[in-house]
Amino acid sequence: MNHSRRLKIYLVAGELSGDILGASLLRALKERFGEIEVRGIGGPRMIAEGMTSRYPLETLSVMGLVEVLKHLPGLMRVRRELRRDALAWQPDIMLGIDAPDFNLGLERQLRAAGITTAHYVSPSVWAWRQGRVKGIARSVDAMLTFLPFEAAFYQRHDVPVAFVGHPLADDLPLETDRQAARSELGLAVDRPVLAVLPGSRGNEIRYMGPTFLESAQRLCRAMPNLQVVIPAATEQRQTELAALLADYPDLDGHVALIAGRSREAMVASDVVMLTSGTAALEAMLCHRPMLVAYRMAPMTHWLARHLVKTEWISLPNLIARESLVPELIQEAASVEAVVAQVLSLFDDVEGRHALEARFAAMHADLQRGASARSAETIEALVQGKPLPASVSVESSE
């Protein structure tokens, strides 16, 4: 890199979460390098940090097989244009943020042309289609991962990797105040609380909503002073859950259905009942014991059983590499099993406290200043130096 000019970075993000990550990273890069130049695809947050966006952020936000096929010619045209633009501009590094199906191909083309490349947010290559790692190795000079088990996977396959920590762990405090959260949500501070998160998607509400609500109803019969708080992810989910609650009259007087505020609900709780996904990671970062239950379409489950190469589905277990969190999948996710597991969590006060302490320690390990560490890694890459020891997976163990 020529230090007589500004650092030039080509960034491509595909959705709102990528814009948030990218803006935080740009701030960290400015702290490290001073003024920088940035081009690519970004949203309002990255543009506010000085990025020149060649296309709107929504350009790559295409979901579903049919939709992707319909938009494929346009996406290929965008990638060709970005390749031409990057080669003409000659950045010091190209960084793809998530959107792996689009970005890894662009990264491979630019790396073949002599541009240093990296990718931020690992695809779930450790879980399924593991053969993709060979293509990733050809595409990037380094993979920047949020989680230590992801970094370990890349190390095993000889792909340069930096474990930078999880931005969500940076956002959430290491100390939680259960009583304050209960007061903010209008819950009694001296009665047990169960947080129920049946999912953010319509399919999740359809498959798990009745199971979770029937389970909550039986738990309230077994624990008459139990309070149940249900944070709805969106206005539509709140409408769907409110309609479902009409079928469970024994929950009257026990349930608070609230808009959003899932983190406050989890901090306020003694136990969390949720579907798998980011919510499980959030519950861990709120240091709360949980039950993960998940049911999906039969064909989807059949495919997952044959394609997914992982022992666990919940991030707390994947991070710990052991079964800290009970997981009930498909037929195992019966009302009886859910109730039994949640009652066991409530009854084992000592076990709950031990698990809260374990989650706090895991939180501290993930709270590594992801943006600053990513900027440190990018500096090493553009200067042609080895990746810093502070971002190696060994430093997390």
Residue 326: give its domain's CATH number: 3.40.50.2000
- pLDDT for the residue 300: 55
Same domain membership, residue 32 and residue 126: yes
Same domain membership, residue 292 and residue 392: no
Q: DSSP secondary-structure letter at 247?
A: T
122 within domain boundaries = yes
Strand 193-197 relative to strand 271-274, pairing: parallel
Q: Kindly tell me if the per-residue pLDDT of 313 is higher than 90.
A: no
- pLDDT for the residue 265: 95
**Residue 94 and residue 107: Cα distance in Å, rounded?**
7
Same domain membership, residue 41 and residue 26: yes
- pLDDT for the residue 66: 41
Q: Kindly tell me if the per-residue pLDDT of 18 is higher than 90.
A: no
User: What tens digit of pLDDT does each residue of 136-159 get?
Assistant: 999 999 999 998 888 988 998 899
Same domain membership, residue 375 and residue 356: no
Same domain membership, residue 392 and residue 308: no
**Residue 319 and residue 75: Cα distance in Å, rounded?**
34
154 within domain boundaries = yes
Same domain membership, residue 24 and residue 99: yes
Same domain membership, residue 232 and residue 304: yes
Structure confidence at residue 297 as a pLDDT band (50, 70, 90)? low
How many domains are contained in the chain?
A: 2
Is the model more confident about 10 or about 16? 10
Q: Kindly tell me if the per-residue pLDDT of 392 is higher than 70.
A: no
Is the model more confident about 121 or about 67? 121
**Paired residues of 97 in beta bridges:** 13, 120
What value does the mean pLDDT take over residues 305-331? 76
- pLDDT for the residue 68: 47
Per the CB < 8 A criterion, the answer to whether 268 and 182 are in contact is: yes
**C-alpha separations of 301 from 110, 273, 280, 307, 308 in Å:** 37, 21, 20, 10, 10
171 within domain boundaries = no
Same domain membership, residue 197 and residue 322: yes
Q: DSSP secondary-structure letter at 202?
A: H
> By percentage, how much of the chain surpasses pLDDT 70?
86
C-alpha 9 chain-centroid distance: 25
144 within domain boundaries = yes
Number of CB atoms found within 10 A of residue 21's CB: 23
120 within domain boundaries = yes
User: What tens digit of pLDDT does each residue of 172-231 get?
Assistant: 999 999 999 999 999 999 999 999 998 776 677 877 888 999 999 999 999 999 999 999
CB neighbour class for 112 (10 Å; exposed up to 12, middle 13-18, buried from 19): exposed
As a whole number of Å, the CA-based R_g of the chain is 23
Same domain membership, residue 280 and residue 152: no
Same domain membership, residue 211 and residue 140: no
In SS3 terms, 282-318 reads as: HHHHCCCCEEEEECCCHHHHHHHHHHCCCCCCCHHHH
**Residue 197 and residue 257: Cα distance in Å, rounded?**
11
Per the CB < 8 A criterion, the answer to whether 135 and 109 are in contact is: no
2 within domain boundaries = no
182 within domain boundaries = yes
**What residues make up the domain containing 248?**
178-365
Q: What order of strands is seen across the sheet that includes strand 255-259?
A: 255-259, 227-232, 193-197, 271-274, 290-294, 327-329
Per DSSP, which regions of the chain are E strands? 7-13, 36-41, 52-55, 93-97, 117-120, 142-145, 161-163, 193-197, 227-232, 255-259, 271-274, 290-294, 327-329
Same domain membership, residue 306 and residue 200: yes
Q: Which of 270, 200, 210 is nearest to 237 (CA)?
A: 200
Q: Measured over all CA atoms, what is the biggest interatomic distance in the chain, rounded to whole angstroms?
A: 71
Same domain membership, residue 240 and residue 117: no
57 within domain boundaries = yes
Q: Phi/psi at 257 (nearest 5 deg)?
A: -95, 115
Q: Kindly tell me if the per-residue pLDDT of 375 is higher than 50.
A: yes
